[in-house]
């Protein structure tokens, strides 16, 4: 979930309307709460809350149940940092039966819903784009060998071109861009929002770790062991000792957020205010 959310522009939060299941996920320590907090911290600015299992016998497309779930989620979404009126939408579906996913709900099934289906809602969301003229930043999520060293990630800012000389931070390895791929297509350049595979020369695959950043050489990303942050502690805070690549939230929001996890639990979320 964390790897996927870190590359996403839009999040789809699927909630069960079945009696008892929503309450289990929503209560303190439940996955619904954790996933919302992680999504916001990892930069998912637009959220579509899908209330699933509306056809369940305990629900039967009840507007009262739908409104109850929406009423409980909205304050928590606001608390997590979402602008609910601007960046969050709700809609009911039945994933099992396919209702309100590709086509709108039939009035004979659900007389009170006048909104869009899932596909329409997704298509209507405007995806925020990074600045193609900013210094280049691409956090590396994976790497492998294929006629050289290949790294994978999403461009958060700036533009990458064939032949560019870049840095892999925090090791400060000087590399050259040999080839750029979007899906299976080789391209000459790519900008913010694109998920890429980039073949590099000048570095070995084993010298790269997930979390490293492919960065502009002229204006590289900061590497620090300490920073000042606005922090929300969810559980127990532990120590962090390793060097990491970060930016101030005010300069690069995508690289100015962080989560702290231990033993499979998110213990803190925050945004960096100073380096």
Q: Helix, strand, or coil here: 116?
A: coil
- Written as six digits, the tokens of 158 are 């700036």
| Highest-confidence segment of 31-45, 51-65, 252-266 | 51-65
DSSP 83: -
CA-only gyration radius of the chain, Å: 21
Pairing of strands 185-187, 244-246: unpaired
pLDDT for position 39? 82
* 142 occurs within a structural domain: yes
**Same structural domain for residues 46 and 80?**
yes
Q: Helix, strand, or coil here: 63?
A: helix
**How far apart are the C-alpha atoms of 62 and 170, rounded to whole Å?**
53
Higher pLDDT among residues 26 and 64, named by residue: 64
**Same structural domain for residues 119 and 24?**
yes
Claim: this prediction has a pTM higher than 0.85: no
CA distances from 253 to 116, 155, 172, 188, 273 (A): 31, 13, 22, 27, 10
Domain range for 244 is 223-274
Domain count, the chain: 3
**Same structural domain for residues 182 and 245?**
no
Cβ neighbours for 111, distance < 8 A, ≥ 6 positions apart: none
| Domain of residue 117, CATH code | 3.40.50.300
pLDDT for position 263? 67
End-to-end CA distance of the chain: 28
* 196 occurs within a structural domain: yes
* 130 occurs within a structural domain: no
**Same structural domain for residues 62 and 19?**
yes
Asked if 123 and 97 count as a contact pair (C-beta separation under 8 A), the reply is no
**Same structural domain for residues 194 and 243?**
no
Which of 124, 145, 171 is the endpoint of a domain?
124
**How far apart are the C-alpha atoms of 203 and 220, rounded to whole Å?**
17
Q: Helix, strand, or coil here: 55?
A: coil
Closest Cα partner for 182 from 170, 196, 192, 162? 196
pLDDT for position 145? 92
89 burial (CB, 10 Å; 0-12 / 13-18 / 19+) is: middle
User: What is the tens place of the pLDDT at every residue in 30-47?
Assistant: 788 888 888 887 778 899
**Same structural domain for residues 270 and 231?**
yes
pLDDT for position 86? 92
């Amino acid at each position: 979930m964390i790897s996927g959310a870190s590359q996403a522009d839009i999040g789809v939060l699927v909630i069960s309307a079945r009696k008892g299941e929503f309450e289990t996920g929503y209560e303190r320590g439940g996955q619904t709460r954790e996933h919302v907090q992680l999504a916001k911290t990892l930069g998912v600015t637009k959220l579509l809350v899908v209330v699933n299992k509306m056809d369940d016998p305990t629900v039967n497309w009840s507007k009262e149940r739908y409104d109850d779930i929406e009423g409980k989620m909205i304050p928590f979404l606001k608390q997590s940092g979402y602008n609910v009126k601007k960046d969050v939408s709700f809609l009911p579906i039945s994933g099992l039966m396919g209702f309100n996913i590709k086509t709108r709900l039939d009035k004979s099934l659900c007389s009170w819903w006048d909104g869009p289906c899932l596909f329409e809602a997704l298509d209507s969301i405007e995806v925020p784009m990074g600045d193609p003229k900013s210094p280049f930043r691409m956090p590396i999520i994976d790497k492998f060998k294929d006629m050289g060293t290949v790294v994978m990630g999403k461009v958060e800012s700036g533009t990458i071109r064939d032949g560019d000389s870049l840095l892999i931070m925090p090791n400060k390895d000087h590399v050259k861009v040999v080839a750029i791929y979007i899906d299976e297509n080789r391209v000459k350049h790519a900008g913010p929002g694109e998920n890429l595979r980039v073949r590099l020369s000048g570095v070995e695959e084993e010298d790269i770790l997930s979390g490293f950043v492919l960065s502009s050489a002229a204006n590289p990303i900061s590497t620090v062991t300490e920073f000042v942050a606005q922090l929300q502690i969810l559980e127990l805070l532990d120590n962090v000792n390793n060097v990491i690549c970060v930016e101030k939230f005010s300069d690069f929001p995508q690289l100015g957020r962080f989560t702290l996890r231990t033993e499979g639990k998110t213990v803190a979320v925050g945004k960096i205010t100073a380096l």
